[in-house]
Amino acid sequence: MAAASAVIIDTDPATGYRFKDVDDGLAILFLLALQEEFDVLGLTVVHGNASQEKAFSKAEEIVDVCGRSDVPVLAGAVNRKDLGVETAASRFLAEAVVENPGEMTVLALGPLTNVATAGMLEGSFYEKLGRLVIMGGSFGSPFEFNFFKDTEAAGRVLAAPCEKVLISGDLCRQALFTRSDLDRLGGMDNEVARYLAGPIDSWLKFNRVVPISGKGGGFFPWDVVAAVYLRRPEIFGEFEEGALRLRRGRLKLGVLEPDPEGGVSPVKAPRRLLEPRVVVEEFLERMGSDHFRYVSNISNKSNKGQDYSDPAKGGCNEC
Binding site for Ca ion (CB under 5 A): 12, 24, 109-110, 223
Instruction: Give dist(CA 72, CA 60) in Å, integer.
Output: 8
* Contact residues for 91 (Cβ-Cβ < 8 A; gap 6+): 74, 118, 121
Residue 131, classified by CB atoms within 10 Å of its CB into exposed (0-12), middle (13-18) or buried (19+), is middle
CB of 202 to Ca ion, least distance (A): 17
Give me the least distance between CB of 275 and Ca ion, in Å please: 23
CB of 48 to Ca ion, least distance (A): 6
- Ranked by CB distance to Ca ion, the top (closest) residue is 109
Please report how close the Cβ of residue 101 comes to Ca ion at its closest, in angstroms. Answer: 27
Report how far residue 245's alpha carbon sits from residue 247's, in angstroms, rounded to the nearest whole number.
Answer: 6
- Residue number, 109 or 204, with CB nearest to Ca ion: 109
Return the closest-CA partner of residue 192 out of 110, 289, 108, 280: 289
Question: Which CB atom, from 193 or from 226, has the smaller least distance to Ca ion?
Answer: 226
Residues facing residue 107 across a β-bridge:
9, 133
Contact 63, 71 (CB under 8 A): yes
Q: How far is the CB of 61 from Ca ion (least distance, A)?
A: 16
Q: Which is nearer to Ca ion, 24 or 318 (CB)?
A: 24
Q: How far is the CB of 62 from Ca ion (least distance, A)?
A: 13
Extended beta strands in 156-315, E state? 164-167, 236-242, 244-246, 256-258, 267-273
What is the Cα–Cα distance from 78 to 114, expressed in whole angstroms?
10
Q: Which is nearer to Ca ion, 224 or 287 (CB)?
A: 224
Nearer residue to Ca ion within complex by CB, 61 or 191: 61
Between 155 and 169, whose beta carbon lies closer to Ca ion?
169
